[in-house]
């Protein structure tokens, strides 16, 4: 009875919100989205937004979960999914790196609809006395085998301090959970992750304690070095997570997860209506998870983000007065980068028809860096 009352109340609220809107979003009757596995934050938020769309617009959405980057991208690229809720693999896919350095992939023509800010930092064991990023030199830093999405962020954070993986004792663990648990078990002194991993709360309560290593927002040279590794990060002061509160915040980096991703050729009007629906129905999903309130469109619909924004999303943000000349300049530069990489990839395939596997990946990485240096 309580659930029925709540659902009816939300539906009524939706009618109140949309009845007074002369041009409410017009969404398709059905859509298919891909997302991370059931239980992951990306899947939970995709589900909450899909539920809000169903209440507000009577749109039925099928969410197709996948545990791998390829599994989330393949349906989108092949046209079997309309949108994908992705993380840093969206950047990897447009760069043609890691899983996407195979001949059948290469740089993909992806566009962002919106993506909420998510935080990432360096939790350390308090007894390791790591006060700054420079103090990581020589320390045991936990990495995750086969997880470039996490590891590239860790490499970027080291670059902030002028360090690389060679400057620390990089300890590779087979799973993300094992890497997170390694601090409590005294097998590592620091790692790189989000703030709400359950193992971090265990670290906070353990004899070692927890300390978030400061990533100062005002170090422009540090941020420039970080964004040379991956140009998708910005400063953020976090108060939610293990060892964090309003009274004890930490400076870390923000990236986007989840990101709603479409192919570039997706119809502009359709994308415009989707981001409009995301904005209009915000009050119906904003309390569904601890961090989903960060989908507020003024935060989720603007750069920096992993990939260029879709023209339909930009049109909506312009109408809302939330898109600036600087944002357009950022998007133009990000699009120019993608177009240059796509052209270079085509040249590599034509010049080296027999290259494949690791040899192709190494050759492409050298060419990619050359292209980026020339931009």
Residue 51 in tokens: 């539920």
Q: Find the helix packing angle between 220-229 and 148-160, rounded to 10°.
A: 150
Give the pairing type, strands 123-125 and 210-212: antiparallel
User: In the prediction, which pLDDT does 291 show?
Assistant: 87
CATH 3.40.190.10 domain residues, the chain: 2-116+255-341, 120-252
More confident residue, 228 or 252: 252
DSSP 167: G
| Residue 40 binned pLDDT confidence (cut-offs 50, 70, 90) | confident
Look at phi and psi of residue 118 and say left if phi exceeds 0, alpha if psi is from -120 to 50, else beta: beta
> Which position has the token pair 């420039």?
224
| Segment 57-70 mean pLDDT | 94
Whether 16 has a pLDDT exceeding 60, the answer reads no
Q: Hey, what are 76's tokens?
A: 């989108």
Secondary element (H or E) of residue 130: none
Bridge-based pairing of strands 30-35 and 83-86 is parallel
**Peptide bond connecting 258 to the previous residue in cis, omega within 30 degrees of 0:** yes
Q: Which helix (H) or strand (E) holds 1?
A: none
> pLDDT value at position 67?
82
Reported confidence tier of residue 231, pLDDT bands at 50, 70, 90? confident
CATH superfamily of 2-116+255-341: Periplasmic binding protein-like II (3.40.190.10)
Tell me what pLDDT residue 198 has: 86
DSSP state of 141: E
pLDDT at 201 over 90: yes
Q: With H, G, I as helix, E, B as strand and everything else as coil, classify residue 214.
A: strand
Four-CA torsion 70, 337, 330, 314, nearest 10 degrees: -60
- Phi and psi dihedrals of 217, rounded to 5? -70, -25
Average of per-residue pLDDT across 135-159: 93
**CA 83 from centroid of its chain's CA atoms:** 15
Confidence (pLDDT) at 38? 86
The domain 120-252 is placed in CATH, from the list 3.40.190.10, 1.20.1560.10, 3.40.50.920, 3.40.50.460, at 3.40.190.10
Q: Any idea what the Cα angle at residue 174 is, between residues 34 and 123, rounded to 5°?
A: 85
Determine the pLDDT at residue 365.
Answer: 96
Question: What's the mean pLDDT in 342-357?
Answer: 97
Read off the pTM: 0.83
For residues 64 and 50, the answer to whether their CB atoms sit within 8 Å is no
């Amino acid at each position: 009875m309580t659930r029925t009352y709540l659902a009816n109340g939300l539906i009524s609220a939706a009618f109140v919100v949309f009845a007074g809107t002369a041009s409410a979003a017009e969404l398709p009757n059905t859509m298919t989205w891909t997302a991370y596995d059931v239980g992951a934050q990306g899947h939970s938020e995709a589900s909450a937004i899909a539920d809000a769309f169903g209440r507000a617009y009577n749109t039925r959405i099928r969410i197709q979960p996948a545990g791998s980057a390829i599994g989330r991208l393949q349906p989108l690229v092949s046209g079997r999914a309309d949108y994908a809720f992705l993380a840093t693999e969206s950047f990897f896919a447009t760069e043609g790196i890691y899983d996407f350095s195979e001949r059948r992939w290469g740089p993909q023509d992806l566009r962002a609809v919106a993506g909420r800010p998510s935080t990432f930092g360096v939790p350390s064991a308090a007894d390791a006395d790591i006060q700054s990023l420079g103090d990581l030199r020589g320390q045991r830093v936990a990495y995750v085998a086969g997880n470039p999405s996490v590891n590239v962020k860790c490499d970027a954070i080291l670059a902030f301090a002028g360090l690389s993986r060679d400057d620390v004792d990089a300890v590779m663990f087979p799973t993300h959970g094992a890497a997170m648990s390694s601090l409590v078990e005294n097998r590592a002194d620091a790692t790189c992750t989000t703030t709400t991993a359950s193992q971090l709360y265990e670290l906070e309560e353990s004899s070692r304690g927890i300390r978030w290593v400061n990533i100062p927002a005002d170090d422009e040279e540090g941020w420039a070095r970080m964004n040379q590794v991956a140009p998708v990060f910005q400063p953020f002061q976090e108060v939610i997570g293990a060892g964090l509160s309003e009274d004890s915040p930490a400076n870390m980096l923000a990236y986007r997860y989840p990101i709603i991703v479409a192919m570039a050729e997706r119809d502009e009007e359709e994308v415009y209506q989707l981001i409009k629906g995301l904005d209009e129905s915000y009050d119906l999903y904003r309390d569904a998870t601890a961090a989903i309130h960060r989908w507020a469109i003024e935060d989720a619909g603007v750069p920096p983000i992993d990939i260029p924004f879709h023209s339909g999303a930009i049109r909506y943000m312009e109408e809302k007065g939330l898109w600036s000349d600087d944002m357009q300049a950022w998007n133009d530069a990000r699009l120019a980068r993608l177009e240059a990489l796509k052209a270079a990839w085509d040249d590599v395939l034509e010049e080296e028809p027999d290259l494949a596997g690791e040899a192709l990946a190494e050759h492409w990485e050298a060419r990619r860096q050359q292209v980026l240096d020339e931009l």
